[in-house]
Structure 1
Amino acid sequence: MKELLSTPIFVMFLTLSTYIFAQYIQRKTKLVLLNPLLISMIIIMAVLIIFKIPLEDYQNGTSMITFFLTPSTIILAVPLYKKIELLKKHALPIFIGITVGTFVGMISIILLCKVFGISGNIALSLIPKSVTTPIGVEVSKQLGGIPAITISAIIITGIIGAILSPVICNICKIKHSVAIGLGIGTSAHALGTSKALEMGEVEGAMSGLSIGIAGLITVLLSPIILKIFNLIM
């Protein structure tokens, strides 16, 4: 039985069926907090723990899904290409907004770590929490952080961003599609972008653009952030 549960076929079935089920729950309840990704993670973790399925077996079984992550990310450029004229029109505000958002995001983590007494490698690991995982891991290594903690922080940030971004936009009365997309992409990377695509084509395009630029800016600003971190901490 255990061998059957650890096979790639079962793992693929578990992953896909769980996500479809989670989407069904959100459509029926229409509750923002019931994000499909969050529900899927909880169910899958419960199954792995209850049936004692090794994490390595699950990772091997989902290798095909992981393989398609890169091309699916590249697909985000399609809505951006469709809105290229909008990008040219707002080029300067877009670049400034992403730069400021990225910088503030990293500085806020340093200040919060200072307030809550978090220091050392753990604090450094949290700095690149708002960029896509491959970039975040490399930045974490560069800063002297712990990649595993960085990955966890990135996932949690993305889920929270996907759940709360519509709520925050409503509370703050942010109506401009470009501003909404930039805010989500800069703060919540690809997971947030999936929500931005649901909100509209312009939001999705701007959010997808923000992922790449925010990642690049994070890499460039990392040495400066490290100096600020050493001064404050």
Structure 2
Amino acid sequence: MTLLSSAGTCLAVLTVFALMRRLSARLGHPAWANPVLAAALTVIGVLAATGVPIATFQRLAAPLGWALGPAIVALAAVADVVRPLLAGRARPALIAILGGTIFGLGIAWGMARLLGLDPLLITALATKTISSPFLITILGRLNAPVALPAALSVATGVIAAMLAPPLFNRLGLRDRDARALALGVSGHLVGSEYAIRQDPQRGGLAIMALVTAGLTAAVLLPLVWQMLAG
């Protein structure tokens, strides 16, 4: 019975996501109609209306969490797509991605500590700068709270996808490669999806930036978590 319930829960979540993705397509894929955010809000609404505890839902939907690992590995397929774009520029691109990732983690963690926030909020605010698939996987291994950081990560991606392009235009940043890299680091999956819709090849750059930032976080977040725990 538990196996059937788990399969039904996973199927329901995937169905909701597919419906939200179709709705987003009909609306023209605006950043605010991100399928991940919309599906999450729908699931939360259903759980609240039915009175199903979050812990029960997490247990039944656990197989979807396992699928994050293969999904992250599959992102390596973009390497062939972005190779021509990075010819002769791989080193500065890597430095930019690493710098943006470390700065994002550091400024969020430092400001939260400066304001004297609760350790849980500090963790959530510091880790929201990482894409949710990496964040969930890393924090899960650390036995750290996942729900709030994951929600803030998705919200960060939506905000970045909405505000970054106008900001680029205001700053006069016209280089499409630089814009894609910045969207991948700051906008996570949502920003990368937006970049892919604008230019599929350069969307690969955004995905590469997202993956590189996630791998960087896999090294840094355990250290941050040890400091917070201490």
- TM over 0.5: same fold? yes
Cα shift at 1:145: 5.4
- 1:85 and 2:87 are equivalent in the alignment: no
SS at match of 2:33: coil
Name the counterpart of 1:153: 152
Name the counterpart of 1:185: 184
Name the counterpart of 1:107: 106
Q: Could you tell me whether the CA contact under 8 Å between 1:124 and 1:140 is conserved in 2?
A: no
Decide whether aligned partners of structure 1 residues 62 and 223 sit closer, same or farther in structure 2, where only a CA change above 3 A counts.
closer
Q: In structure 1, what residue type is equivalent to 2:199?
A: G
Aligned partners of 1:121, 1:52: CA distance in 2, in Å? 25
User: Structure 2 length as normaliser, TM-score?
Assistant: 0.73
Note the alpha carbon deviations across 1:72-110, whole angstroms, 9 max, x for none: 544544443123132232111101101110111012202
- 1:118 and 2:105 are equivalent in the alignment: no
Unaligned runs of 5+ in 2: none
Instruction: Report how many residues are paired.
Output: 221
Note the alpha carbon deviations across 1:17-50, whole angstroms, 9 max, x for none: 23322432x22xx754333433333334323323
Q: Could you tell me whether the CA contact under 8 Å between 1:18 and 1:43 is conserved in 2?
A: no
Matching of residues 194-205 of structure 1 within 5 Å: 194-205=193-204
Cα shift at 1:58: 8.0
Aligned partners of 1:158, 1:93: CA distance in 2, in Å? 24
Aligned partners of 1:48, 1:133: CA distance in 2, in Å? 21
Q: In structure 2, what residue type is equivalent to 1:178?
A: D
Note the alpha carbon deviations across 1:105-131, whole angstroms, 9 max, x for none: 012202331454314342134322222
Matching of residues 9-158 of structure 1 within 5 Å: 10-24=12-26, 26-27=27-28, 32-53=31-52, 55=54, 56-57=56-57, 60=60, 63=63, 69-114=68-113, 116-133=115-132, 135-137=134-136, 140=139, 146-158=145-157
Aligned partners of 1:120, 1:62: CA distance in 2, in Å? 26
Q: In structure 2, what residue type is equivalent to 1:123?
A: I
Aligned partners of 1:41, 1:23: CA distance in 2, in Å? 17
Aligned partners of 2:85, 2:13: CA distance in 1, in Å? 42
Name the counterpart of 1:171: 170
Q: Could you tell me whether the CA contact under 8 Å between 2:75 and 2:207 is conserved in 1?
A: yes
Identity fraction in percent: 21
Decide whether aligned partners of structure 1 residues 47 and 190 sit closer, same or farther in structure 2, where only a CA change above 3 A counts.
same
Unaligned runs of 5+ in 1: none
Aligned partners of 2:79, 2:51: CA distance in 1, in Å? 43
Q: In structure 2, what residue type is equivalent to 1:128?
A: T
